[in-house]
Chain A
Amino acid sequence: MTTTTTTITQEEQNNKHVTNDQTQQEIDQTAKMQAINVNVWFGQKHVLKSVNLTVKPNTVTAIIGPSGCGKSTFLRCFNRMHELAPNAKMTGKILLDCEDIYERKIDPVQIRRRVGMVFQKPNPFPTMSIYDNVAAGLKLTGTKNGKHLDDIVKRSLEQATLWDEVHEDLKKPGTSISGGQQQRLCIARAIALQPEVILMDEPCSALDPIATAKIEKLIIELKRNYAVVIVTHNMQQASRISDYTAFMYMGELIEFGETRQLFENPKVKLTENYITGAFG
C-alpha cells in the first residue's frame, strides 16, 4: 500500500512539471475512487487545474488548503454535485471502481446513491420528520413503510451514533434537534443508502467543539465500512482523523500522501509553509 502511494505522489510531482502530457495517468486497480486530470471551469474561471487523486477503500482521505483553493469544488466532482452549478464545465475522469462516472451512459442520480455526501451546514429536510429524513432516499426507490424500513432507519441512526438521543423523537421535524445532532442526522441520511464512499464538505465548520469531537469519532468509525473523503480547513482535524491528506492551493493539487508523512515531512515547500502557518 505504501509503495503505491509513493508512486502516485511521484507521479503528481512529475505531473506538475510535464503539464502537456498528463492524460497517461495510470488506473490504480486498488483504488475505490480515482480522479484523473480533473479540470473545472466556472464560466471563464479555471478553478481546478489537472488534479489527480486516489481514494483507497476503508480509509479517510482529507483535502486541506486555504479557502478558495477549489477543495470543495473538487469534492463535488466525486458525486457530480458540481453539475448543479449552472455554468460549471469539467474535463477529466473520476473513476469509481475503475469505471468513469462521467461517461455518457452513467446517470448522476445513480452515482449519488453510491457516493453519499454531507454538507458544510447541516441541512436536514425541514419539512420531514427525523425518521423521514433518514428514510427519504430509500422511499425514492420504492421502499415502503414497514419493518424493513424501520430496521434500516434504526441501523443508520445507530451507525451515526444518534439513535440513543433521538429514538423517542423520530416523528419530530429534522430541524428540531441541535446542530451537531442535525449533522449526524445528515450522516445517517447518507448511510441509509448504503453508499460505498461518503464525501464530507467541512462537516464540522458550523459546529461547536463537543459536537465536532463526536463527528470526528464517528468519521473514524465509518472508515470500517466506507471510504471517506473529507474537506477541511482545520489541519489538526485532518491530522487527527485521516489516513491520507491532499494539500490544494489555487486550484492545483500541490502534494498528496500519507497524512503523517505530509504533516511531518512535506516534500513541497508550499505545503510546509501552509502547515507551519506561514500563510492561509
Chain B
Amino acid sequence: MDIRPILASLRRHRIPALLIVLEIALACAVLCNAVFMISQRVASIHLPNAIDEAGIAEVTLNGTDPELAGSDIPRNLAALRGLPGVQAAAVVSTLPLSQNNWGWGFGTKPGDTLTDRGSRNVSMYFLGSGGDAALGLQVLEGRSFNDGDYADSRFDKSPLPETHVVLVTRSLAAKMWPGQPAVGKTLYATPHYYTVIGVVADVLRPYIGDVNSPANYDAAFFPMSAAGSKGALSHYVVRSAPRDRDRLVREAEQKLADLNPGGVAHGRGYPEIRRGYFADMSSMAWMLVLVCVVMLAVTAFGIVGLTSFWVNQRRRQIGIRRAVGATRGHILQYFQTENFVLSTGGVALGMALAFGINVYLMQRYEMARMPWFYLPAGAIALWLIGQASVLGPALRAAAVPPVVATRSA
C-alpha cells in the first residue's frame, strides 16, 4: 500500500497525530521499564536456595538461659525427634532469608583480617549437631561435619567459633579460589583460620541484595556444640515430608513451649519465611502489573477515541473514495496503515525514552541494565495494541456506504 496519501493526510492533522505518537512513546517507555522491574522482582522471589524448603519447619526459642543450653538443647531435640513424621531435627543460629545476619570478613591469605581490602564479607551459619541433615544441605565436594566436628566447636572470647573446619557454598568457593578445588584450602580471619572440608550447593544468605547482586550466596557453615554455643543456637529446624510440615510447626512449637516454661517459642514453615522476606517485593510487582494493565487500557481507549473522531471527520472523503472504486478492504487497510505509521513513530521515540529512563534509574536507584530485547518486545506490544484498538473504528469507516459522497455532510 502506498503510504504517501497517509503521510499527506497526517501532515494536515499534525497535532492529533503528534499526540498519538507521544502517548505511544510514553506508554512504550513506561511499559519496558515496568516490565523489567517486574521481571527483576519475580526473579528475586524465585532465587534458588539449596535447602529442603518444602520440608522445613522452624521454631525460634527465646528467653531461655544460655548457660543451660548444653543440657536444654539435647533434651529439646530428643523431644522434637519423637514427634511423628520428623525425619531430622537440629538447632541452628539463623536461616536463609530470616534477616538475622551474622557477617564476618574472611580472606584467603594468612594474616588477612576483617578489615583488609581483600577480605570478603561472608554470612556465617552455625549448625548444631545434625544441622546439615535437618536443613538438607547438598554436599557437592568433600564431606560434611562429623560428630567430632560438632562436639569440638564452641565460642570463647571472640564472635568467631573455636573450630578449624568450615563448609562453603559453591559460589563462595568459586570466588575465593577461582578455578581451583576449594576442599583443603583455608579461610583466614586472623587469628582464626578454618579449613574447607566440603563445598555445598548454593544456599542464600539471611539477608540478600537484589537479584543481580553477586554476593547473595556468600555463606559459610560452621559446626557448633550445644554446650559452647553461648546462646547463639536458638532456631530449631524440624525436617519432614512437605505434607507433615504445617502440622509439625504447631506441634513443635507446643512441645518447645511446654519444655521451656520461661521461654517464648514461635514456629513458622519455611515457605512462610520466604514469603515474608519477599512480601514487599511481590506487592510492588503486583502494583506494577496493575499500573501496566491500566496504562495500556488508557492508551488503547485514547487511540480508539481519536481514530473514531478521524473516521467521523472523513466520512465524506471515505464515501468519495468508495464511490470512485475503493473496496472496503482498501479503507480498512488505510486506517490500519495509518495507525501503523503512527505507532512506528511512537515506539521509535519510546524505545529511546525507555533506554534513557533505564539509564537514569541505574544511576539513581541501583537498577540493573535492561536487556536489549525488552525494547523490541515493548515495541511489538504497542504495535499490536495500536492495531487492535484501530480495528473497531476502521471497520466502521469501511462500512461507510459510497452514497455518502452524494450527500452534503
A and B interact: no
